[in-house]
Amino acid sequence: MTVLPAAGQDLLANQAPIDRKMKGIDSLMLQQLIINEVWESPAADLYTDWDNMTVHQTTAALPDSFRIDLRDFCMPTTSRVVTSNYGARWRRQHKGLDIKVYIGDTIRAAFSGKVRIVKNEGARRGYGKYIVIRHTNGLETIYGHLSKWLVEENQEVRAGDPIALGGNTGRSTGSHLHFETRLCGVALNPALMFDFKNQDVVGDEWLFNRDSYNRESAEATRLRGTGGVYRGGDDLEANMASRGSKSSVSRASSVNVRYHKVRKGETLSAIARKHHTTVSSICSLNGIKKTMTLRPGQILKYN
Q: What is the 3-state secondary structure (H, E, C) of 157-208?
A: ECCCCEEEECECCCCCCCCEEEEEEEECCEEECHHHCEECCCCEECCCEEEE
Cα separation, 242 vs 92, whole angstroms: 11
Residue by residue, pLDDT tens for the chain (303 residues) are 555 555 555 554 555 454 544 554 556 665 555 544 444 577 777 887 888 988 876 556 788 899 999 999 999 999 999 999 998 776 678 899 999 999 999 999 999 999 999 999 977 778 999 999 999 999 999 999 999 999 999 999 999 999 999 999 998 989 999 999 999 999 999 999 999 999 999 999 999 999 999 999 999 999 999 987 777 778 887 777 655 433 333 333 334 567 788 888 899 988 888 888 888 888 888 778 888 888 887 878 787
Spell out the domains of the chain, with CATH numbers in brackets: 6-40 (no CATH), 66-241 (2.70.70.10), 258-303 (3.10.350.10)
pTM for the model stands at 0.69
| Alpha carbons 297 and 138: distance in angstroms, whole number | 12
Give me the phi and psi of 100, to 5 degrees please: -70, 115
C-beta of residue 68 within 8 angstroms of C-beta of residue 203: no
